[in-house]
């Protein structure tokens, strides 16, 4: 992708969203992305949430709509982890 977008672009990793830790498929997909595609996944995966899906319809960010949910907390932790990588 870098060869046609921005050859100086540094990719820190991917972010798993809509993750369902209760299913074997969810766990398998995370492992496959890392193993087969060699992509680092930045922790934590963001759990699937109806509240997150509602946020755009309300015209607000996920954190404004559902900051204290598991998904909101995951987004906050992701931001902190990404900031620590820079």
What pLDDT does residue 6 have? 81
CA atoms within 13 Å, Cβ hemisphere of 10 = 4
d(CA 71, CA 74): 5
d(CA 70, CA 84): 21
Kindly tell me if the per-residue pLDDT of 4 is higher than 80. no
d(CA 27, CA 35): 12
Kindly tell me if the per-residue pLDDT of 2 is higher than 60. no
Q: Is 66 exposed, middle or buried (0-12, 13-18, 19+ CB in 10 A)?
A: buried
Q: Quick one: pLDDT band at residue 3, thresholds 50, 70, 90?
A: low
What pLDDT does residue 75 have? 94
Q: Where do the H-state alpha helices sit in 10-59?
A: 24-37, 50-58
pLDDT tens, position by position, 7-50: 888 888 999 999 998 999 999 999 998 898 888 999 999 999 88
């Amino acid at each position: 992708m870098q060869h046609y977008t921005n050859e100086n672009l540094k990719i820190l990793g991917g972010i798993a969203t809509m993750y369902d830790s209760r299913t074997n498929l969810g766990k398998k997909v995370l492992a496959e992305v890392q193993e087969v595609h060699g992509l680092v996944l930045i922790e934590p995966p963001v759990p699937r949430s109806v509240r997150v899906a509602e946020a755009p319809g309300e015209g607000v960010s996920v954190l404004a709509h559902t900051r204290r949910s598991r998904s909101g907390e995951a987004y906050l932790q992701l931001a902190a982890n990404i900031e620590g990588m820079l």
